[in-house]
Structure formats: structure tokens, C-alpha cells
Chain A
Amino acid sequence: MKVAPRLAVHHSSQPAHTVARRWSSRSRESIVIAAMMLALVAVFLLSLAISSVWVPLDQVVAVLTGMDTEQSSAHVLIREVRLPRSLTALLAGAALGIAGLQMQTLFRNPLADPYALGIASGASLGVALVLLTSGAVVSNVFASSLGLAGDAAVTAASIAGAALAISVVLGLSNRVENPATVLILGLMFGYAAQAFVTVLVAGTDPDKLQRWVAWGFGSFSGVQWGKMTLFAPLVLIGLGISALTTKQLNALLLGEKYASSMGLNVRRMRVLTMAGASILGGVVTAFCGPIAFLGIAIPHMCRGLLGTSDHRSLVPATILMGGIVALTAQIISLLPGNSGVFPLNAVTSLIGAPVVVIVLMRNRRGAFTA
């Protein structure tokens, strides 16, 4: 029977369920995912229509359908600012949600998130080196050696920092058996990187510090079309890995020993999953800054709404939900009339945290059923 692995998964968490109940939960999953698709399309369009500057709806439609004149300011606002920003939010939300899901499953820990392996700390170390070191030292040498200016250097440094974190932790993880140990290694790498960042922050003048603080706020607005050509493919690669390994992730839910008895090459799966999650977390951090909360919250929301831990439903749901929540946060951070800037990270956490609490409380089984 085709649903065999799926039955096994459910078995572990909900042994009392009947076959009939499983079928009904399957249809529930389909309905929830369909609703999410509609919601995502709606939020995406809303994010193109509503922002700090008011553009009449008919002009929005005209621009989107290509019926407008090239040089109108609505054209620039929607094509050059809103469209890339909304796409970035969608991809970043999906990426962080999936990376969080992978980490939570891999480590069988509901508190794991995309940054669990020290990716954000590694990235922030790279960014701090570029933004905070004074004058011609590291930053300029780094930037000029790559032929990069300004924010491009920040992005590159962030990727380099995240890559360093990944390679250190992946390298060490091959020597340890227990996944919890890997988690602690990541945590320790994070502390070490943060220590360097603190030293850099301590000796910095206020102007540079302001940039640093702004980076920490997180933003989907920095990815313009030029950067999108790098950002989107990298995120899609990461998402692809997760989509192709749903069965293996399901097996991991049962524990590494059980998974390997089912014929899964656990060690390879571990490296693949960590690499995938690291690409997702690292790329988003590089382009958007350390976006808080989405990575840990989205998978919990989806488990709660779907009532399952089956990755064949969770992965698509997480991608959709990540996009919905990120786009909503983006809309709220730039509501009409608010030309000033409300930090994205504040919105994601303030809006998202109560939602997760509600989902968890309504779902008495607990949202993490490993």
C-alpha cells in the first residue's frame, strides 16, 4: 500500500487512530493547504497594493498587467520596489520556515530553528567585520578584492560567515553520534562568534553602529532585481532539497536508529538536511538580515493547523505559511502613512508569537509530535 510510511509516522504519535480517521485527516490537510494557497495569493496581491505610499488600485492593476506607461512613478514603485520586496518576503518566509522544520525534525527538538547551528552568528560576524571595522583594514580589503561595494560586500561577508559556521559545525558533526551534541556545537560556535562581534561593536563609532543596528532589524526591501537573480535560485535549491527528502524526514522523526533500520543512510541524510537548512538560513540572513521568529514558529503553526507531522504535507504547508506570515509582517511594517520604518523583526515576533501560542493551546496534543 502506498501510504505505508505515512501510517508508520502516524502510528508513532497517534497510535489510537483508526484508518477512517486518517482519511478524514488527509482531507483536512488538503483543505488547509488549499486555503493556504488562496491566502498566499491574496496576501501577495495585497502587499503589492498596500504600502507606505498610496497608489490607486486601478494604477496597481495597470502596472501589473503591463497596461501603464513606462515612466510613471507608480510603475517604478510597484515594479522596482514592491514586486521584488514581496517576492523576497515570500521566498524568505518559505526558506526560514523550511529550514526551521528541517532542524526541528533532524534534532527532534521543538526549539530548534534555522539559526541553531550558529548560522546567524556566523553571518553577523561576517557583517560586523565589514560594517564595523574602521578604515582600510578588513572591510575594504575584503570588498575591493571581490570588486564589491556597499551592501554587496555585506551580503558576501554574511554568506562567508554563514558558510564558515556551517563548515565548522558540519565538519565536527561527522565525528559525533548524538545529534544533540551537534546542536550544542552549533550553540558554542554561536557564542564564540558573538564574542568577536561584541569586541567589534565595543570599539565602533556611532555612524557605523547605526548601520549595524539597522542590519539587525531585518528587511525584505534590500533585494532588488539584480540581487534576486542570486537570491531566488539559492532559496529554490534549498527548498528543493526539502521537497525531495520528505520521506527521509518522516523516517528521522522516529529516531536515527529506527530510521537506519528502515534502510536510511542517516549520516548522509543528516549532512544533506543540515546543508539544505544552512543554505536557506544563511542566504536569507545574508540578504535580509537575521529575521527572527519565522523559522521556529512557522512549522509549529503548520503542525497545529494540519494536525500532522507528516512532512509530505508539512513541507508544502510550511512553504505557503512562511510566505503568508512574512508578507503579512511586511505589510504591517509599512502600513500606509507610515513612511518611517517599523523594524521588520519587531513585527514578525509581536504578531507571530501570539499566533503560535493560540495554535499550541488549541491543539492539545501539542504541536510537536515526534
Chain B
Amino acid sequence: MLRSLVFIATALLVSVGCAGPGKAPDTSRKGCIESFDSSKDYFPEKTKPEFAENFSLEYHNSYKVVTVRRPADVGMEEKYVLLQCGAPRPELPAVLSRAPVITVPITSLFSASSTHMPLLVDLGHVEVLTGVAQARYITTEPILDWIRQGHVTEYAANDVIDTETVILKAPAIVMSSGGFPEAYNTLQKAGIAVVTNVEWQERSALARAEWLKFMAVFLNEEGKANGQFNAIRDRYMALKDRVIKLPEKARPRVMTGTVYRGTFDISGGASYVARLIADAGGVYVWAENKASGGTSVDIESQIARAADADIWINGGDWTSLKDMLAEEPRYRHFKSFQQGNVWLYNRIVHENGGYDYWSRGITRPDLILGDLIKIFHPELARDHEFVWYKQVPRE
């Protein structure tokens, strides 16, 4: 009896193991090479980052090399070899000896960040998503449908990566958002490629949106990415042109941030928010600050610098000006607050509390810019309807 139980259990385990996806190279996939010709260029559609500073691409006949320059605040650059499915493994130079080799187009993807979701939606490849770190932060509707249908495994529900689940599901890549938890080493040892997407380190919204191309190289969708990104870029530039000739005195002074216990969390002067403010014809009060992400200043410095700012964007979860005062009575010393010129990107809030701005906004800097121009210079954006920004009401 016991012996037969053991036998059944073993048989089950073996069959589960065999059913694991993504093990053997599947040459029957669409677009896979059937008879390899080393002189043929298998990537007729190429792309190249124009604004993004943190990744670069290099094309060869049957493979492409992706480099991420700063996968984390510290640490060396990372390279990945993307090999066309069905092609033989190429002779790689020594610099690539440690780079993971990933078969493209990928058919499965574990993603660590909700900011990757709009990239998949825009490129029309929701179906490759097989795992997400935490489903509860996702606000991208087509992805949520996909999750509801049960196609997606949650692999870090409590912030801790469940390495066993990831190894068992064996995705083609795990796309992290930087940092290097120990778990990633374990995954790499188990033969799972970990790819770093650090779009958040870019210093302009256009450069962030350009990580659409980064996602595209794994899906062989360069053509689509180029078309979409160029359209976004052109719209962005056209909007920017509307304000470019404005004289200095016609540009409103703009502040950002929210206070917590006397410390203001603001956007850094080298951040993409600061860049958006400038491109929308505003003057950021902390423009010469060096931080490329968010940063902190004490309330005193903020009052000295921003008390006379005309417009306040990107604060807390405020529902009214009254609500703001309840949080911090000293907000009343800011001119932008006194005049009710406080704007938040909470026009569309998802039912799980997530802001649509944080998902769709990633790939639509043109719409963000349109909103900001409409706030700073309403007469120059009459044709634009607000997408995300909303003025904080008095009551």
C-alpha cells in the first residue's frame, strides 16, 4: 500500500515537472528560425534609445545585446544576450561570457513592478505576463483582467521573493526594477535570467516612456515601439513648442511636495517632474537641486523658497484645501495654497486606490505635459482635456 502511494506521488511529481513551461526551446513558435542562415539579419526592425540614458542596444544577425548602465545606484552595468529563437548559440566575446542568454521573443515574464504593465499593454503582449511580484498595486485594467482569468502567479506577495515558486514556474525572464535582493542571485544560479528595468532613474518623462523600446526588444516588437514612441515624442515636442517662447515673467513659479513632521518630500531638481515643469513653461523653485528622484527639505527651506510660488503640483492624498490644513496648518503660508492653486494627479483613481497616472502616465508623457500646460497656461491648451490633473477643491 505504502509503496504504491510513493509510486503515485513520484509519478505525479514527475508529470508536474515535465509540464513546467519554458524548459525546452520551442522552435515551433511563430517567428522561430527553422533553417539557420548565419548571413541573414533576423532583426530587420531595429530601435535605438533617443532620450533614455540608462540602456543601450546592439544588433547582430541572430542576437542582440542589451546593456543597462546603472541597474542600481551602485553596481556595475549589466548585459543580456537576446538570441532569436531557433538560432544556434553564437560565439560570444569575453565581455558577454557572464551575460544571460535569453531566447526571444519571450513567451513568459515575471514582473517586479506595476510600472512595467503599461509597456506590455501598449505593445499588445499582455499574454506573456505569467507572474507579478504583488498584484495589489496593479492598476492597469487589461492586466487586471488577465490576472482575474488566473494566468498570473503572485511571487512576492509579502515583499519577499518566493524563489521556489519562481524556479518552479521557470519564466523566460524576471524583470526587476533595480536593487539586488539575494533572491535574484539564487534565481540566476537556477538559470533564470533576471533583467533590470530602471525606467524610474531616467531624468525626463520622455526618457522614461522610451523604456517601451526596452520591453519591445524582448518581444521583437521594435517596429511597434518605434511607431508609438515617435508619435508620443512628436506630440510632446509640439506641446513643448507652444510654451518655448514665453518670456521668463510669463512663467509661473511651481512647487511640489507634501510635508511630514516638518520635512517636505519634494521632487528633486534633476527629476523628470522638474523637467516636465520646465517643458510645460513653468519655473521649478528647486530647479538647481541635484537630486534626480525625490528628495527631502525641511519646512523652513521650503517656506523660504516656495512661499511665493504660484502653483503647487503633486502633493499628498488631499481631498480639499481644508483637508490639507488639518494635516499641516503651516500650508497656509504658501501663496499657491492661499490662492487655491493646488493640483493633484488624482482625476482617475482605480478602485484599489492606485492612481491611473502611475500606470498609463508612464508611457504618455505627452498627456502629462498637456495637463501641466493647461494648468500653467490655460490659454495655450484650450484643445486639451485634463487627463489626470485636478484642482484641489476648497471644501
**Chain A interface residues toward B at CB < 8 A:** 51-53, 73, 76-77, 80-82, 85, 134-135, 148-152, 202-205, 210-211, 214-215, 219-222, 224-226, 288-289, 334, 339-341
**Chain-A contact segment, one of B79-87, B230-238, B258-266, B381-389:** B258-266
Contact of B326 among A152, A219, A341 (CB under 8 A): A152
CA distance A202 to B136 in the complex (A): 14
B137 interface hit (Cβ, 8 Å) = yes
CA distance A288 to B262 in the complex (A): 10
B53 interface hit (Cβ, 8 Å) = no
Min distance, Cβ A186 to any Cβ of chain B, angstroms: 26
Known: A81-B300, A135-B353, A222-B261. A150 touches B307 (CB 8 A): no
**Chain B interface residues toward A at CB < 8 A:** 134, 136-137, 157-160, 260-263, 265, 295-301, 303-304, 307, 316, 323, 326-330, 333, 352-353
Min distance, Cβ B144 to any Cβ of chain A, angstroms: 16
In contact, A221 and B262 (Cβ under 8 angstroms): yes
In contact, B304 and A150 (Cβ under 8 angstroms): no
In contact, B296 and A73 (Cβ under 8 angstroms): no
In contact, B353 and A221 (Cβ under 8 angstroms): no
B330: which A residues are within 8 A, CB to CB? Answer: 80-81, 224
Known: A80-B330, A150-B316, A334-B298. A341 touches B263 (CB 8 A): yes
CA distance A205 to B303 in the complex (A): 30
Min distance, Cβ B223 to any Cβ of chain A, angstroms: 35
Known: A76-B333, A219-B262, A221-B261. A82 touches B300 (CB 8 A): yes
In contact, B327 and A151 (Cβ under 8 angstroms): yes
Contact of B333 among A80, A202, A221 (CB under 8 A): A80
In contact, A224 and B261 (Cβ under 8 angstroms): no
| Most chain B CB neighbours (cut-off 10 Å) among A215, A224, A334, A340 | A340
B297: which A residues are within 8 A, CB to CB? Answer: 52, 339-341
Min distance, Cβ B366 to any Cβ of chain A, angstroms: 26
CA distance A23 to B326 in the complex (A): 55
Beta-carbon nearest neighbor of A54 in chain B:
B304
In contact, A77 and B304 (Cβ under 8 angstroms): yes
In contact, A221 and B301 (Cβ under 8 angstroms): no
The 7 A-B pairs with the shortest beta carbon distances in the complex, nearest first, are A221-B262, A222-B261, A150-B327, A339-B301, A53-B304, A219-B261, A149-B326
CA distance A204 to B160 in the complex (A): 11
A77: which B residues are within 8 A, CB to CB? Answer: 300, 303-304
CA distance A77 to B303 in the complex (A): 7
In contact, A214 and B307 (Cβ under 8 angstroms): no
Beta-carbon nearest neighbor of A215 in chain B:
B261
CA distance A340 to B298 in the complex (A): 6
Contact of B299 among A148, A150, A202, A221 (CB under 8 A): A221
Min distance, Cβ B143 to any Cβ of chain A, angstroms: 17
| Most chain A CB neighbours (cut-off 10 Å) among B157, B316, B333 | B333
Known: A149-B326, A203-B158. A214 touches B263 (CB 8 A): yes
A288: which B residues are within 8 A, CB to CB? Answer: 261
A sample of 10 inter-chain contacts (CB < 8 A) reads A52-B297, A73-B307, A150-B328, A151-B261, A202-B160, A203-B158, A203-B159, A221-B263, A224-B330, A334-B298
CA distance A204 to B156 in the complex (A): 11
Given contacts A81-B300, A151-B261, A289-B261, 4 further A-B contacts (CB under 8 A): A151-B260, A214-B260, A214-B261, A288-B261
CA distance A216 to B52 in the complex (A): 36
B157: which A residues are within 8 A, CB to CB? Answer: 203
In contact, A219 and B263 (Cβ under 8 angstroms): yes
B327: which A residues are within 8 A, CB to CB? Answer: 149-152
A52: which B residues are within 8 A, CB to CB? Answer: 297-298, 300-301
In contact, A221 and B298 (Cβ under 8 angstroms): yes
Min distance, Cβ A162 to any Cβ of chain B, angstroms: 17
Chain B interface SS verdict (over half): mixed
Beta-carbon nearest neighbor of A71 in chain B:
B333
Contact of A76 among B136, B298, B307, B353 (CB under 8 A): B307
Min distance, Cβ B315 to any Cβ of chain A, angstroms: 11
In contact, A202 and B158 (Cβ under 8 angstroms): yes
Beta-carbon nearest neighbor of B294 in chain A:
A210
B307: which A residues are within 8 A, CB to CB? Answer: 73, 76
A81: which B residues are within 8 A, CB to CB? Answer: 262, 299-300, 303, 330
In contact, B159 and A341 (Cβ under 8 angstroms): no
Min distance, Cβ A73 to any Cβ of chain B, angstroms: 6
| Most chain A CB neighbours (cut-off 10 Å) among B158, B265, B330, B352 | B330
Min distance, Cβ B208 to any Cβ of chain A, angstroms: 17
A225: which B residues are within 8 A, CB to CB? Answer: 329
B295: which A residues are within 8 A, CB to CB? Answer: 340
Contact of B328 among A202, A224, A339 (CB under 8 A): A224
A214: which B residues are within 8 A, CB to CB? Answer: 260-261, 263
CA distance A148 to B300 in the complex (A): 25
Contact of B159 among A53, A202, A219 (CB under 8 A): A202
CA distance A103 to B382 in the complex (A): 67
A211: which B residues are within 8 A, CB to CB? Answer: 260
In contact, A73 and B328 (Cβ under 8 angstroms): no
| Most chain B CB neighbours (cut-off 10 Å) among A148, A152, A226, A339 | A339
Min distance, Cβ A332 to any Cβ of chain B, angstroms: 13
CA distance A219 to B333 in the complex (A): 21
B329: which A residues are within 8 A, CB to CB? Answer: 224-226
B300: which A residues are within 8 A, CB to CB? Answer: 51-53, 77, 81-82, 334
Min distance, Cβ B277 to any Cβ of chain A, angstroms: 19
CA distance A82 to B330 in the complex (A): 12
Beta-carbon nearest neighbor of A205 in chain B:
B137
A215: which B residues are within 8 A, CB to CB? Answer: 261
A148: which B residues are within 8 A, CB to CB? Answer: 326
B265: which A residues are within 8 A, CB to CB? Answer: 210
Contact of B352 among A135, A219, A289, A339 (CB under 8 A): A135
Beta-carbon nearest neighbor of B296 in chain A:
A341
In contact, A85 and B304 (Cβ under 8 angstroms): no
In contact, A149 and B296 (Cβ under 8 angstroms): no
CA distance A70 to B298 in the complex (A): 22
A204: which B residues are within 8 A, CB to CB? Answer: 159
Min distance, Cβ A348 to any Cβ of chain B, angstroms: 16
Beta-carbon nearest neighbor of A76 in chain B:
B333
CA distance A156 to B59 in the complex (A): 59
CA distance A220 to B300 in the complex (A): 13
CA distance A225 to B352 in the complex (A): 36
Min distance, Cβ A291 to any Cβ of chain B, angstroms: 12
B136: which A residues are within 8 A, CB to CB? Answer: 134
Beta-carbon nearest neighbor of A333 in chain B:
B298
B333: which A residues are within 8 A, CB to CB? Answer: 76, 80
CA distance A224 to B260 in the complex (A): 12
Min distance, Cβ B285 to any Cβ of chain A, angstroms: 12
CA distance A135 to B330 in the complex (A): 27
Min distance, Cβ B259 to any Cβ of chain A, angstroms: 9
A203: which B residues are within 8 A, CB to CB? Answer: 157-159
B134: which A residues are within 8 A, CB to CB? Answer: 205
Known: A135-B352, A149-B326, A149-B327. A222 touches B262 (CB 8 A): yes
